[in-house]
Structure 1
Amino acid sequence: MGRGSIWIGSIVVDCTDLPRMIAFWQEALHYVPRDPPEPDGVVLKDPEGRGPNLSLNKTSEGPLDDYRLHLDLYSSDPEREVERLLRLGATLVRPAKKGHDFVTLADPDGNPFDVIDKKGWASGRHA
């Protein structure tokens, strides 16, 4: 059976430093701009068409204290990816707790996201 009539087309992130956020998320996800960036935002897309778009919208306000939406990034090599994301400008918000399979980071604008340990998923082991 094919996909239904509704799916996630884009995840929207408000940000105060648009150029920095574009650079961070392009490197983090290897996404490319769908169209040339505008002064008030850009839509980044997966060049292979596998994932949803990531829309970055410029705002004058910082991130909220009570986050209602965040990204879960799955990784078959989470330790390496966390180190890479930290080098790109992410910050550690919450290390992995005992019994949990994720670490929480924040992008350069303070928006949280989790890197989730999915070792084995790429090879079909579904750990």
Structure 2
Amino acid sequence: MVTLGTVVMHVADTGRAARFWAQALGYVPREHNPLILEPKDGNGPGLALDESDRMHLDLYADSAQEQQAEVERLISVGAQRVDWAYPDDADFVVLADTEGNLFCVVDTSHG
């Protein structure tokens, strides 16, 4: 089963937003990407701050096989595939929920 891995939040100023949300939530910057904040103890979803992407959820799957199975399961309960321009090394699949909100299913073993 997928888990809520990251909430991606659209922001106008990543530095300002990172300082605010780190203090507001008690989160710390991820070691290799300071624009992703995560709980100090590692328990709970991360918060990714992005100036170019719209707000969405990233759901994490442990393998490519689990990702595919979860995509199919989510479609069976009402999600829809989204026509998306994927990079060659994409580790995510973009879907929309029943209200049209986008979310990604990410294969966390990919990279």
Normalised by the shorter chain, which TM-score bucket?
0.3 to 0.5
Q: What TM-score, normalized by structure 2, do the two folds share?
A: 0.47
Max radius of gyration: which structure?
A: 1
Relative contact order: is structure 1 or structure 2 higher (C-alpha 8 Å, sep ≥ 6)? Answer: 2
Higher strand share: 2
Whichever structure has more helix as a proportion of its residues is 2
TM-score of the superposition, structure 1-length normalised?
0.41
